[in-house]
Amino acid sequence: MKKPPIFPLSNEQTMLGGYKIEPLTIYKPIPVCSFFHLEVFRDALIWFEEFPKCCPDHTKMMKLFNLKKSDFEGTPQRIIKNLLYTEHLISYCIEKEEWKKIITDYFTFSFFSYGNPEVGCEKYKAYLKGYIKHVSTDIPEEKKVELIDFLESNSLNTGEKGASSNFVRLIDLFYKWLNSVPNLSLFSKYKEHFSGSIPFKFFAATWNKNIFSKRIEFTLLSEEEICEKLIESTKKLLLLIDTPEMIRKGILKDNNKYEFDLISENHRMKQLKLLSDFSTQEIEYINIFQSWLTNEKNYFKDLARLMPIENETPTDAESLNKKENVEQQETTEQMEKSDLEIAYDCIEFLGGHWHDKTKIMEDNDFQRLKFYVKELVEKKQLPSKLEKIVINSVPKKHITYTFYLIHLRLYGKYPKLLYFIDFLRAVFPTLKTASMKTMKTGFSKKPDSYEKDIQSVLSK
């Protein structure tokens, strides 16, 4: 699968400009006259006097990006303004139903306003924590705990070290899994949808659209959590596949090709396990895919035993191509007819005379048979109030194979729709005594002279 090109940059290699925070329209300026605010402002001024020699990180940052202290002029004043704006928002929203969402979104909005590398954000967070813990009288104690927990969580880091490389690793894990999804037509659209893209939500432990910045903010799952999610996704994906139903609906038209693909993909899974470097967790989803492929393969083998098809196995590529061309031509012709017309074509000869000039069935019986067949095709169930129809001269195998052809042309070779067999046993007296097992195994057996006999009847 095509993985998108990714160029990871560490937090130390990235410079992002900040932005100015504006107060809410309802904001009323608070005079900086309280002891707390005076101490905060004084501490910020002392810190900025020492900047960038206040810590090794800021010293390194200035050299790396060729910055000057004058580039950050006014930072102490900015910190105190942001703090005042935040305090006002807290007091205004703390009693609202969505108080936590509004307030924590504003926290994050403020954090990212300092840009990257940040200058002043850590001071702002420290002052904000102090205000919530020791100064505010508007915040209930239980809400204080939640806000402090949020401030101290890693989710608020403007650039956690290693986050970029971790994200690349998670993308690798996802595409490793996507490559392991069987290369079957059933999954082709699914694989094409994700090829070359990054499903961000799949990697997210938390996902939030900030109501102030309008940005999507998310934290990453761990590698172990991603592997668990991939295992769960494998099960969910395979549960969507209902093979019997797809056969009934004709979605799986080329059963031989599908079975060949199953065998090939099962072999590929074995090769992946042998030659690729999978963790113990990753091997679990490989095993699930492999078991599913084996189950599918065995299912088709069981169906083949129930409905053996004679003289339909090509012995070489030339005969296979010839057979496919004939079937494609027949399919094209059948596409121009309705299901009922196709079924009527199959039983047409039963309204004629056999080789010995005996009438196969009475005209009223033939009309009744057509009505029954109409019910079979349109309602897809055994018709009610069935009456016996006597057939003269025609061999039993010709009758069963005739209805197999209806089944084949409308619904495929298998799974066998058992109400067809129930119909044969209920309507035709010569078939009533045949066991269900005999009928099931003989349903698809083509009499040697079938085509010759039918053409002879229709040509009269």
Per-residue pLDDT reduced to its tens digit, 286-317: 999 999 999 999 988 888 776 544 444 444 44
Asked which of 103-112, 230-239, 302-311, 385-394 is least confident by mean pLDDT, the reply is: 302-311
Asked if 369 and 347 count as a contact pair (C-beta separation under 8 A), the reply is yes
Distances from the Cα of 405 to the Cα of 153, 309, 320, 359, 450, angstroms: 69, 12, 20, 22, 12
DSSP for 79-102, written as a single string? HHHHHHHHHHHHHHHTTSTTHHHH
Could you tell me if 407 and 417 are in contact, meaning their C-beta atoms sit under 8 angstroms apart?
Answer: yes
Query: What was the pLDDT predicted at 323?
Result: 43
Q: Tell me if 171 sits within 8 A of 7, measured CB to CB.
A: no
- pTM equals 0.56
The residue assigned the tokens 């091997």 is 283
What confidence tier does 319 reach under pLDDT thresholds 50, 70, 90?
Answer: very low
Q: Where are the beta strands (DSSP E) in 182-242?
A: 204-209, 216-220
| pLDDT mean over 71-93 | 92
Summarize the confidence of residues 272-278 as an average pLDDT. 89
* pLDDT reading at 448 higher than 90: no
Q: Hey, what amino acid is at 413?
A: K
**What's the mean pLDDT when you consider all of the chain?**
82
What is the C-alpha separation between 444 and 8, in angstroms, rounded?
Answer: 61
Q: At 26, is the pLDDT very low, low, confident or very high (cuts 50, 70, 90)? A: low
More confident residue, 87 or 439: 87
Q: How far apart are CA 16 and CA 9, in angstroms?
A: 12
pLDDT value at residue 174: 93
**Each residue's pLDDT tens digit, 215-274:** 888 888 999 999 999 999 999 899 888 888 888 877 777 778 888 999 999 999 999 988
Helices then strands (H, E): number in the chain? 21, 2
Helix (H, G, I), strand (E, B) or coil at 304: helix
Amino acid in the structure at residue 415: P
Burial annotation 317-327 (CB, 10 A radius, 16+ → b, else e): eeeeeeeeeee
